[in-house]
Amino acid sequence: MIPCVRRSGALCLLLLAALPVHAARVQLVDAGKLDGHPANRRGAIARYAEPRGEILAGGRRLTASRDTGQQLRWERVYPEGPLYAPVTGFSSQTYGTTMVEDAADAVLSGTDPALASLPLWHELSRGRPTGADVSTTVEPAMQRAAYTGLGGKRGAVVAVEPATGRILTLVSSPSYDPGQLSGTGPSVRAAWDRLTSQPTQPMLNRAIRQTYPPGSAFKIVTAAAALDAGVVTDVDAPTGTPSPYPLPGTRTRLPDAAEGCGGASLAYAIQWSCNTVLAHLGTRVGLAGMRDAVARFGFNDPGLRIPSPVVPSNFDTRMSADQLALSSIGQFNTTATPLQMALVAAAVANGGELRPPYLVDRVTAHGGTRAVSHPRQRPPRRVMSPLTARLLAGLMVGVVERGTGSAAALPHATVGGKTGTAQHGLGNSGVPYAWFISFARAHGSARPAVAVAVVVEDADAVRGHISGGGNAAPVARAVMAAALREQDLLRERDLLRKRDVRRPGAGAGGRR
């Protein structure tokens, strides 16, 4: 009996020793695999056990959370969903996250280590801090003006503050309600199927995820390259370009829609959008010069994030002389996002210096009681000389005051712009896209209030009636007007604040 008892005891001891070894293996070796297993719902339950932090614009909440009482307890709600969908994106228990909901997911969900007031406390307690709030740079009045201006037509509007790079407007149309995708179940799957199958693609963020041929709006980039390279030294001097212009190495002749373009100056060509002059200037700058110029503006950059990734705008780096001529007027393979073209206008308005764009202004603990972070911005870069920027700004003002962009004019403000009608499709058979890029500076102000890019792709319009000046410029005008009103309100608040400080008895100890 004694040997049997001993063997039984040894086996029991071995089993007891195997238990912590097995537990350690599960905890240390297999933990990652088990956490990611589709059948493990603990992560999802913990993720939705607390409401997410809020996304804000101008102090206004763009999001909220609803207690469902279910296992995945808190669902996302979007009070003004379609208006801000290109900014917020969606947070779905079924389909994940997009846009700011995705880029700032760690702070919104409370998993970012920076949110913990005591290091390692939440790791030990297996809890998580309350999600932080993310304030965006979007101005609500400008956002609504852009959304209303598009009126449901397919297109996009982007507005930036030239001196800072703050994205003030980010609109894509048609839009959708992100709240329809928040939860789980048949209704959410049906909403996903409906939204993803519509030919108008309401979930496509046209402002940063769609590129278009920029057409004549791109002529500002070509003009900047020609001025910086010394190909043009006097904007009012004749260029000697024939109209129509024979594309180099071909028998094809490039026509002009405007009159008087034969031999026209750069100033006239920008004012009336002469294809021939800018195509000729592009070939004179040369492929290497144009390639360097567009790179400074941000074309062909796959790394741009705002913080969501932006698809690269394209300018071919290898092409023949005739292809370069077409590319120089925004045709051939040249494509751009509306954000990229807003940056073109912003660089001109800001004296040739381009501030990298950003959409997230700051992150604060829930309720705004403690600043968690201010996203670090990249340094500005010079894309053209100050003289070139000043000349181009004057030419763009001429487009609005005396040329094709008169629909964008505003009282009490200096407005510069450039129209564009971009051909596309096989044999240019597609309905053209209408572009308008612009900037506005209030009279008496030292710096521009806003730079705007608008693109309208309206398949219901009569082909001959589509133009940047007729379709896109009025939308840009409404956005610029809203920006100027916002600037006036800020100026009035600053004056009132200074007046309060200067009141008798409001010295160092009397300030409130």
Q: What is the DSSP string of 66-123?
A: EE--SSS-EEEE-TTHHHHHHHH--EETTTEE-HHHHHTHHHHHT--GGG-SSTTHHH
In angstroms, the Cα distances linking 222 to 233, 285, 289, 297, 325 are 14, 9, 10, 11, 10
How confident is the model over 406-462, as pLDDT tens digits?
A: 999 999 999 999 998 876 544 454 567 899 999 999 998 889 999 999 999 874 454
- How far CA 405 is from CA of 268, 312, 414, in Å, comes to 13, 27, 13
Catalytic residue (choose from 175, 216, 327, 438): 216
Number of neighbours of residue 332 by Cβ within 10 angstroms: 18
Task: Please say whether the beta carbons of 331 and 213 come within 8 A.
Answer: yes
**Alpha carbons 178 and 90: distance in angstroms, whole number:** 5
- Say how far apart CA 503 and CA 458 lie, in whole Å: 56
Q: CB burial class (10 A; 0-12, 13-18, 19+) of residue 244? A: middle
Per-residue pLDDT of the chain (512 residues; tens, 9 = 90+): 587 777 777 778 887 877 777 776 766 665 566 555 555 555 566 676 688 999 999 989 999 998 877 777 889 999 999 999 999 999 998 999 999 999 999 999 888 777 766 555 445 445 566 788 999 999 999 999 999 999 999 999 999 999 999 999 999 999 999 999 998 889 999 999 999 999 999 999 999 999 999 999 999 999 999 999 999 999 999 999 999 999 999 999 999 988 999 999 999 999 999 999 999 999 999 999 999 999 999 999 999 999 999 999 999 999 999 999 999 999 999 999 999 999 999 999 999 999 999 999 999 887 666 777 777 778 999 999 999 999 999 999 999 999 989 999 999 999 999 998 876 544 454 567 899 999 999 998 889 999 999 999 874 454 444 455 678 999 999 999 999 998 877 777 766 776 666 666 554 444 43
First to last CA, the chain: 91
Amino acid at 139: E
Q: What is the pLDDT of residues 338-363, one digit of tens each?
A: 999 999 999 999 999 999 999 999 99
Domains of the chain plus CATH, in order, are 215-360+376-494 (3.40.710.10)
Count the neighbouring beta carbons within 10 Å of the beta carbon of residue 39.
5
Q: What is the DSSP string of 389-442?
A: HHHHHHHHHHHHHHSTTGGG--TTEEEEEEEEEE--SGGG-SPPEEEEEEEEEE
Q: pTM of the prediction? A: 0.87
The reply to whether 216 belongs to the active site is yes
